Structure 1
Amino acid sequence: MVRNRQNIYMVFICVLSLFLLFLHFPFQVGELSNWVLIYTFIGAILLLNHFSVILPSGNFLSMDSALYLACIFLYGINVPLLALILSSFVFFFIRFKMEWWKHLFNFSNYSIMIVSTYYMFIASGGKVGNIDVTNLWPYTISLTVYFLLNLVLMWLYLFLASKLSIRNVFQKLTKKDDVKEAFLSYLCTLVLSLVMTIVIHEQPIFGIFLFISLSITLSLAFSKVFSLYKHEETRAQKDFLTGLNNHGYFKQTLDEFIKRSEYEDPFSIVLLDLDDFKKYNDFNGHVQGDELLTFFGGFISEKIKDHTFIAARYGGEEFAIIMPETTQEQAKMFMDKIRKEYNETPFKGVEILPLGCLSFSAGITEYEKGTYGASELLARADKALYYAKAEGKNNCQIYKEGRFHHKGHQIKEEIDGLEQQLQIFLSKDIYTYQHSKRVFRYAVDISDQLDLSEEEKRRLILGALIHDIGKIEIPRDIINKKGKLQVHEWEMMKKHVTYGKEILSSVKKYDDLLPLVELHHERYDGKGYPYGLKGENIPKLARILCIIDSFDAMTTERPYQKTKTFTEAIEELRKCSGQQFDPVFVEPFIKMVEHGDR
Structure 2
Amino acid sequence: MKSRSRSTWLTDAYSSILLIFFLWLWHSQYSPLTLGIWRSTFVLGGLALIFDAFDIVLPSGEGLTLTSALLVAEGTTLGMNSVFVTVTLIGVFNILRTPRHWKIHIFNAVQFGLSSYVGFEAFTAIGGKLSKPFNFSHPYTLVFIASYFVANILLVSMYRMLRERVSFSQSIQGFVELEVLLSYFMMMGFGVVTIVLLQHTGLAGVLFLSLVLGSLASVFRHYFSIYSHFKTLSIKDEVTNTYNHREFQTQMSGLVEQGQPFSLLLLDVDFFKTYNDTLGHPQGDRLLKTLSDKMVTFIGDKGTVFRYGGEEFAVILPNAILSGAVKLAQELCDSIADTAFIGTECMPGKHITVSTGVSSFPYMTKNRNHVIAYADEALYKAKNLGRNRVELYKSDLLSLVPELAEIEGVNVEEMQELVANLRDVDHYTYRHSERVLQYAIALASQVGIPEEDWVYFKCAALLHDIGKCQIPRYILTKPGRVNDEEWEQIKVHPVTGEEMVAQVLDNEIIHQMIRHHHERYDGRGYPDGIDGTDIPYYARLLTVVDSFDAMTSSRPYQAKRSVQEAIKELRDCAGTQFDPDLAEKFAEIVLDLKVHSLHVGA
What code does the residue aligned with 2:233 have? R
SS in 2 for 1:397: strand
Cα offset, 1:190, TM superposition? 1.2
Deviation at 1:221, TM superposition (A): 1.2
Change (3 A) 1:97 1:368: same
Q: Which has the larger radius of gyration?
A: 2
Shift of 1:445: 6.7
Give the structure 2 partner of residue 52 of structure 1: 55
The answer on 1:188 being equivalent to 2:186 is: yes
Q: Amino acid of the residue matched to residue 219 of structure 2? A: A
Which residue of structure 1 lines up, in the alignment, with residue 467 of structure 2?
416
Structure 2 match to 1:95:
98
Q: Cα distance 1:213–1:369, how it changes in 2: closer, same or farther (>3 A)? A: farther
CA distance in 1, matches of 2:364, 2:120: 50
Matches within 5 A, 1:11-410: 11-25=16-30, 27-30=31-34, 32-99=35-102, 101-135=103-137, 137-171=139-173, 173=174, 179-258=177-256, 262=260, 267-277=262-272, 288-289=280-281, 291-305=283-297, 307-308=300-301, 309-323=303-317, 327-341=324-338, 344-347=340-343, 351=346, 355=349, 357-368=351-362, 371-401=365-395, 406-408=434-436
Instruction: Call closer, same or farther: CA 1:317–1:41 in 2, change over 3 Å.
Output: same
- Give how far 1:55 is off: 0.8
Return the letter of the residue paired with 1:347.
G
Gap change, CA 1:337 and 1:216, over 3 Å in 2: farther
Q: Residue 97 of structure 1: SS of its match in structure 2?
A: helix
Q: Which runs of 5+ in 2 are unaligned?
A: 1-5, 400-430, 438-460, 473-487, 490-494, 515-602
Q: Deviations over 1:393-443 (max 9, x none)?
A: 12222344569982237945641224669x99xxxxx9x996952643449
- Aligned pair in 2 of structure 1 residues 414, 242: CA closer, same or farther (>3 Å)? farther
1:125 Cα deviation after fit = 4.6
CA contact (8 A) 2:267 2:312 kept: yes
User: C-alpha separation between the residues in 1 aligned to 2:390 and 2:249?
Assistant: 22
Counterparts of residues 459-538 of structure 1 (less than 5 Å): none
Given the superposition, is the C-alpha separation of residues 47 and 443 from structure 1 closer, same or farther in structure 2, using an over 3 Å criterion?
farther
Code of the residue aligned with 1:363 in structure 2: it is G
Q: Distance in 2 between matches of 1:370 and 1:412?
A: 18
Separation in 2, partners of 1:444, 1:14:
74
Contact between 2:123 and 2:144, CA under 8 Å: does it hold in 1? yes
CA displacement 1:523-577 (0-9 Å, x = unmatched): xxxxxxxxxxxxxxxxxxxxxxxxxxxxxxxxxxxxxxxxxxxxxxxxxxxxxxx
SS of the aligned residue for 2:307 comes to: strand
One-letter identity of the residue aligned with 1:253: Q
Distance 2:137 2:317 in 1: 55
* Distance in structure 2 (CA, Å) of the matches to 1:443 and 1:242: 55
Question: Which residue matches 1:498?
Answer: none
Mapped to 2, the partners of 1:442 and 1:23 lie a distance apart of 80
> What CA distance in whole angstroms lies between the structure 2 residues aligned with 1:328 and 1:219?
45
TM (normalized to structure 1)? 0.62
Equivalent pairs counted in the alignment come to: 426
CA displacement, residues 300-336 of structure 1 (integer Å, 9 cap, x when unaligned):
2244247245332212332212345753144224322
- Give the direction of change, closer, same or farther, for the CA distance of 1:258–1:185 in structure 2 (3 Å limit): same
C-alpha distance after superposition, 1:157-201 (max 9, x if no partner): 222344434444444x25xxx621211111111111111112222
Partner amino acid, structure 2, of 1:319: F
| Change over 3 Å in CA distance of 1:159–1:113 after alignment to 2 | same
Do 2:269 and 2:354's aligned partners in 1 also have CA atoms closer than 8 Å?
Answer: yes
Cα distance in 2 for partners of 1:207, 1:62 equals: 19
With CA pairs under 8 Å and 6+ residues apart, which has the higher RCO, 1 or 2? 1
Q: Is the 8 A contact 2:336 2:354 kept in 1?
A: yes
Gaps of 5+ in 1: 425-429, 447-457, 459-598
CA–CA separation in structure 2 for the residues paired with 1:186 and 1:251: 32
CA–CA distance in structure 2, aligned partners of residues 389 and 13 of structure 1: 59
SS of match in other structure, 2:87: helix
Structure 1 residues 61 and 291, CA, compared in 2 at 3 Å: closer, same or farther? same
Change (3 A) 1:109 1:336: same
Matches of 2:310 and 2:391, distance apart in 1: 21
Give distance in 1, aligned partners of 2:29 and 2:74: 16
Q: Call closer, same or farther: CA 1:68–1:241 in 2, change over 3 Å.
A: closer
Cα 1:96–1:356 shift into 2, 3 Å: closer
SS in 2 for 1:387: helix
Give me the whole-angstrom Cα distance separating, in 2, the residues matched to 1:241 and 1:95: 34
